[in-house]
Amino acid sequence: MRKHLIPVLLAASALLLAIGAGGAGASTSGMFVIGDGNAAANGHVTFWGAQWWKDNSVSGGTAPASFKGWAVDFDSATCTFTADPGNSGSPPSPPLPNTISVLVTSSVTKSGSTIAGVVSAVAQVSTDGGYDSDPGHAGTGTVLSVTPCTGGPPPF
């Protein structure tokens, strides 16, 4: 019976790595993002979607409308991320795992075609159904916990 569990665990581990895991001070590619004003335990959040900038409260000001909630790169040493505008960052195909790590941002800015953000924390989110990699199909869920980003190894 246990021999069937190993492939499932390996597949789940590979998906977790694709959605956001890295080593100490590592640059991690691909993570969803929520605003710091939405990062309360048991709060319902939108981590991906066409209206991300309206659905997320960011203490550093309004996020650009072209940011849809997918950070292409997360640098845990500096607690920053970069993103591409619109759907060009290639978020993962559905379905998502039941629980994912998402970045919590206090600031999102755009200069030219580059979007950059400051990460204040990493949250664990229980995902809802309905997500698709097209921003017209929002990714939503419930915040389970929030861990501050302190610079160094990612807290997940």
pLDDT single digits (tens) 65-90: 999 999 999 999 999 999 998 766 78
Closest by CA position to 36, among listed 88, 94, 106: 106
pTM for this predicted structure: 0.81
Q: Does the structure show a pLDDT above 50 at 144?
A: yes
Q: Is residue 156 part of a domain?
A: no
Counted domains in the chain = 1
Closest by CA position to 34, among listed 114, 100, 133, 110: 100
Q: Is residue 154 part of a domain?
A: no
Q: Is residue 153 part of a domain?
A: no
Q: What percent of the chain has pLDDT over 70?
A: 78
Q: Does the structure show a pLDDT above 60 at 131?
A: yes
* Amino acid present at 47: F
Tokens of 23: 């080593």
Q: What is the DSSP string of 64-118?
A: PTT--SEEEEEETTTTEEEE-STTTT-PPPSPPPSEEEEEEEEEEEEETTEEEEE
Q: Does the structure show a pLDDT above 80 at 95?
A: yes
Q: Is residue 85 part of a domain?
A: yes
Closest by CA position to 55, among listed 44, 70, 71, 42: 44
Instruction: Quote the DSSP letter at residue 25.
Output: T
Helices and strands in the chain: count of H runs, count of E runs: 2, 7
- Domain residues for the domain of 140 are 2-148
- Provide the pLDDT confidence category of residue 139 given band limits of 50, 70 and 90: very high
